[in-house]
Structure 1
Amino acid sequence: MLHPRIKQILQVLISLGLAVWIFWFLYKDIEVEILWSQVKTSNWFWISFSLIISLFGFWLRGWRWTLLMDMSEGKKVTYGESYHAVMVGYLANLVVPRAGEVARCGVLTRTNGISLGQLLGTVIIERSIDLLFLVGTILLAFLIENQLFISLANQLVNLEQIFQGILDNLPLIIGAFGVLVLFGYLIFRRFRQSGLIQKIQGFLRDIYGGVKGISRLSNPWGFWLSSLLIWIIYFSTMYAVSMGIASTANLSPGEVLLVMVMGSIGMVAPVQGGIGTFHALVAFILIQLGIAEQDGKIFAAIIHGTQLILILIAGLISWVYMLQKPAWKKPESA
């Protein structure tokens, strides 16, 4: 049996190795001179503007987070402190996937005395709402670019043949579906105490409880509007970068939205900072939009690279700032 510490190190190394391999596989045929030439000829007004938008998005994430915090324990968290904690979390994610959630909570536990459990609960709510917005964004992209979605699906499978097969065997399919539902229910009843079933139940309860709990906040409208604005900022960041690169400057807002969706899915992958997976999915969808393969890969490298540099700089500044703050001490009873 492996020691938990060794197991954790192996998981980090495997995820990093996978990210590096995907990145190398994508870019092994692109010469550095070509990439650098594209970087130099890009419109850096738009790319710099995208970084300013991103910084505002990071601050907004911090502001939204404070709305979820119970200020009855410890010291009140300022908007500046929550922003710096969020940036420390982004920085930690570049080292260990998913470590950012714990890191940013640990920072405020040390400086403000709010319990780690309470802060982790707020992060679960945030992640649940972000997941709902991601699903909504995917649906919006489908409604706007439905022809492209159908075209991509047709490249993988023959949709007309599948639909005709469903119609020809509709009674059998309905019966099989009923049996499957019954079988699933019996399996659930039989193994509902298993770890996997309980994790699924817990995940769904967290989402439901998070959405329900938002209505009890002191500023629920602020939470929902800031959540919406965060996703608008994601889109605006992607759109600004597309305007700054000649090969993507003519993309429509709907096409940029589709690129953003693919990039968001790539960032969800359990690798450091979405390295490799982000580049692969963004380049793939750009190729489907008619962008040359090399240009699509360079676009992905520029937007991810600039965001990575921004997180490294801002994250390190926030980390140093929060380290200099004194640890919170519980006031002594009179």
Structure 2
Amino acid sequence: MKLSLKQWIQVLVSLSVAVWIFWFLYKDIKMESLLDALQQASLFWIGLSILVSTLGFWIRAWRWKLLINADLDEKIPTSRSFWALMVGYLVNMLIPRAGEVARCGVLKNTNGLQVSKLLGTVILERSVDLLFMILVIVLAFSLERDVFLDLTADLISVDNLKGILLDYLPLLIGGILLLLIIIYWVKRRYRDHGLVQKFQHFMREFISGLKSVSRMEHRMGFWLSSVIIWVIYFLMMYFISLGIPSTANLSPSSVLVVMVMGSIGMIAPVQGGIGTFHALVAFILMTYGLSEEEGKIFAVIVHSSQVLIVVVVGVISLLAVAKISLISKPATDELRIK
């Protein structure tokens, strides 16, 4: 993936922000404290968390495969979607959000699939994840209502928020209408231009990818795997909480709230949620009585376990993809000669 100078600047700025947040959070945490926490932690629970989390990546790849195969005569195996998915996560560690395009590019190289169609399936997959995330937040709110209300009262003024929305609602509606008018005008004015035709072709393939869920053979499997993915997210964090003395007494509902905060931190446009994940997880743990140091140490252990999986499995996936590409290239060249 080639990057322009502007994109490299964006990457460096994003990485600098992530590193600065991480440094600011952990500048007062002594390495001895982290090492002591690791020595006291149960390797069994942490290892089980890593194992379950890896299984979650495989299930995510299987779910993505269902969407992809909906429009294919020659189905791809889960292993191909898994390699592509893990390469995407590895790319995200360097360039935020670029992993979604990267994993589509991998399947283009290994299976000759169209990136535009694959992007449609990725966006649909992410939209489903967002839906389930909202449901998990609602569940966490219902189980830990008092904690959420206290946080809302401390961080957000509901009255001020309503006032801002009402003040800027006409501006927002006007901006959307103006954007629609500009798109319509550009489409009418330049509809015969090559770039517009390419864009229209891309959008047709993109929408086709979004509609693939209606053509899936295993719709129940798609929705069931979506539920299991979030159950695994919870188990990944819950197992680590059981393995660390400072968090071993947290209730499952408390860990669910911690998971929600961590998920929100991972959405931030920084590499791998570095800094934002740690800040939000440590913050919510302090509301449950942990010290600031204990909360930050828990956050870094959880995040490091995920980074370890992404780096190790991501590198293995890169090697697997390179091998597949080398094998398929001679066959492609032979077809061209014929």
Deviation at 1:154? 2.3
What do the CA deviations read for 1:42-99 (whole angstroms, capped 9, x no partner)?
Answer: 0110000000000100100110011001465585311111111111111111111111
Residue identity opposite 2:177 in structure 1: R
Match for 2:101: what amino acid? V
Q: In 1, distance between residues paired with 2:296 and 2:110?
A: 42
The match for 1:327 is 328
- The answer to whether residue 177 in structure 2 is matched with residue 189 in structure 1 is yes
Change (3 A) 1:330 1:228: farther
1:41 is displaced (CA, Å) by: 1.1
Residue ranges of structure 1 left out of the alignment (5+ in a row): 167-172, 199-205
1:108–1:322 distance in 2 versus 1, CA, 3 Å: same
TM-aligned CA distance change 1:244 to 1:96, over 3 Å: same
Find the aligned partners of 1:116 and 1:212 in 2 and give their Cα distance: 15
Aligned partner letter, 1:193: I
Q: Following TM superposition, by how much is the alpha carbon of 1:104 offset from its aligned partner in structure 2, in angstroms?
A: 1.2
Q: How does 1:1-334 map to 2 (within 5 A)?
A: 5-70=4-69, 76-156=75-155, 185-194=173-182, 213-325=212-324, 326-327=327-328, 329=332, 332=335
Query: Counterpart of 1:248 in 2: which secondary structure?
Result: coil
* TM-score normalized by the length of structure 2: 0.83
Shift in Å, 1:214: 2.2
SS in 1 for 2:328: coil
Distance apart, 1:210 and its partner CA: 7.7
Question: Do the aligned partners of residues 114 and 20 (structure 1) sit closer, same or farther apart at CA in structure 2, a change above 3 Å counting?
Answer: same
Distance 1:110 1:207 in 2: 18
Change over 3 Å in CA distance of 1:5–1:181 after alignment to 2: closer
> TM-score, normalization: structure 1?
0.84
Distance 1:156 1:264, change over 3 A: closer
Shift of 1:232: 0.5
For the 8 Å contact 1:110–1:327, the answer to whether it is kept is no
What amino acid is the match of 2:132? F
Contact 2:286/2:292 (CA < 8 Å) preserved in 1?
Answer: yes
- The two structures, once aligned, show a CA RMSD in angstroms of 2.9
Q: Which moved more, 1:179-188 or 1:10-19?
A: 179-188
Give the Cα–Cα distance (whole angstroms) in 1 for the partners of residues 9 and 56 of structure 2.
Answer: 33
After TM superposition, give the deviation of residue 155 of structure 1 in Å.
Answer: 2.2
Structure 2 equivalent of residue 201 of structure 1: none
Q: CA deviation at 1:186?
A: 5.0
Which amino acid is the alignment partner of residue 249 of structure 2?
N
Q: Closer, same or farther in 2 for the Cα pair 1:211/1:257, shift >3 Å?
A: farther
> Mean alpha-carbon deviation: is it higher for 82-91 or for 43-52?
82-91
